[in-house]
Chains A and B, each alone.
Chain A
């Protein structure tokens, strides 16, 4: 059964400490600029 978690609970859940060395993935797009931006 699916239960709706209270926002606070969810927020707490998200407070789960991230593993040491966790590097957030850069946003997938747009990509890197190879020359210059105009």
Chain B
């Protein structure tokens, strides 16, 4: 009697978790936009045997955005998942992997990210500020003012904007704009840039130095601007295969969309 087919893999089986971990590492390692994503749930798994010790695995994953920018060297295990009240962003990914003699490799991956619905947030937290569109005028003004403020005070490289990661606008009890954005060091010092900022270009990939800034602009009851930027130092670049679609993200080169 032919051997009974193996029982279908459960989504919480160790083999499924290993495949999901390989998929999430691939997704985070090959994206250059937004934030790192962490596994929240394995929605489905399907294994299609190809021969002895050779399987194709189809995974359906539910991910959640963390607070770590995608270019941050922080290991994913140390990245905090954004809480529901901070207006979480979910990633839905379909990943195809191959497992040969126990070694997993990603063959294809397609993801879509979307912020949680405002209604859901306000139901739980009526006063929580919501994510603003990244093209919001107040957001763009805040990012521009914050970057100018930082560059006017730093003694290091002149920084250029790479992309705005996320932003929120609160109107009550104070009018506050909070924005997070990714930056890159240029080939100018901040002093040189005062003469001709237009000539300052991002450092070439083999010397690149990326960083991340958080800014808080209080508009009412009194004007105040706080900026904090952290540069990561040079890291070994990874081939840019953008994966997670980033709705509304402003790129330094328009049209650089993601699949």
Chain A residue, CB-CB nearest to B43:
A30
A-B pairs under 8 A by CB, number? 52
What is the interface residue range for chain A against chain B? 10 to 19
On whether the beta carbons of A31 and B16 are closer than 8 Å, the reply is: yes
A33 contact set on B, CB distance < 8 A: 40-41
Rounded to whole Å, the gap between the CB of B24 and the closest CB of chain A is 11
Q: Does chain B have a CB within 8 A of A26? A: yes
Most-contacted residue by chain B among A25, A32, A36 (CB, 10 A): A36
0/1 interface trace, chain A 7-38, chain B, CB 8 Å (1 if under):
00000000000000000011011111111111
Q: Does chain A have a CB within 8 A of B171? A: no
CA distance A33 to B16 in the complex (A): 14
On whether the beta carbons of A26 and B10 are closer than 8 Å, the reply is: yes
On whether the beta carbons of A34 and B43 are closer than 8 Å, the reply is: no
CA distance A31 to B43 in the complex (A): 6
- Chain A contact residues, majority secondary structure: loop
On whether the beta carbons of B39 and A34 are closer than 8 Å, the reply is: yes
Most-contacted residue by chain A among B8, B40, B116 (CB, 10 A): B40
B40 contact set on A, CB distance < 8 A: 33-37
A32 contact set on B, CB distance < 8 A: 11-12, 41
On whether the beta carbons of B10 and A34 are closer than 8 Å, the reply is: no
Rounded to whole Å, the gap between the CB of A17 and the closest CB of chain B is 23
For window 48-83 of B, CB contacts with A under 8 Å fall at: 62, 64, 81, 83
Residues of A within 8 A of B (CB): 25-26, 28-38
A31-B12, A38-B120 known; 6 new pairs, CB 8 Å cut-off, are A25-B10, A28-B11, A29-B43, A30-B41, A36-B83, A38-B90
12 sampled A-B residue pairs with Cβ under 8 A: A26-B12, A28-B9, A28-B10, A29-B10, A30-B41, A31-B16, A31-B41, A33-B41, A36-B88, A38-B64, A38-B90, A38-B120
